[in-house]
């Protein structure tokens, strides 16, 4: 989860996901898989990817709500999936306000 700890790298990936900047090959892959993974609960993900998604969303909800909000606004404007992931975080002891 190196991306989450590196503010510069996180910003580069965020700009790519939000279609607000250029994408590296890795950023494009993340962008291409992010919305389908949100929509289907990562049904096509490996166990490692599922674990990374859980860690990533929990981190963003707790430590970077500004980034979490931007991603949700772009990929889930109606809040359908957001509730699910925020509830999972809550069950893990992470509160979001």
Averaged over successive runs of 10 residues, the pLDDT of the chain (97 residues) comes to 84 92 92 85 86 84 88 90 81 73
Provide the b/e sequence for 56-78 (b: ≥16 CB within 10 Å): bbbbbbeebeebbebbbeebbee
pLDDT on residue 1 = 64
What domains does the chain contain, in order, with CATH numbers? 2-92 (1.10.2080.10)
Answer yes or no: are the C-beta atoms of 38 and 75 closer than 8 Å. yes
User: In angstroms, rounded to a whole number, what is the distance separating the alpha carbons of residues 78 and 47?
Assistant: 28
């Amino acid at each position: 989860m190196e991306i989450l700890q590196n503010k510069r790298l996180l910003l580069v990936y965020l700009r790519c996901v939000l279609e607000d900047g250029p994408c590296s090959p890795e950023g494009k892959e993340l962008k291409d898989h992010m919305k389908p993974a949100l929509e289907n609960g990562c049904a096509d993900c490996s166990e490692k990817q599922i674990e990374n998604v859980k860690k990533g969303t929990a981190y963003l909800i707790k430590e970077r709500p500004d980034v979490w909000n931007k991603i949700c606004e772009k990929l889930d404007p109606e809040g359908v999936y957001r509730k699910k992931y925020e509830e999972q975080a809550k069950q893990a002891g992470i509160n979001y306000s």
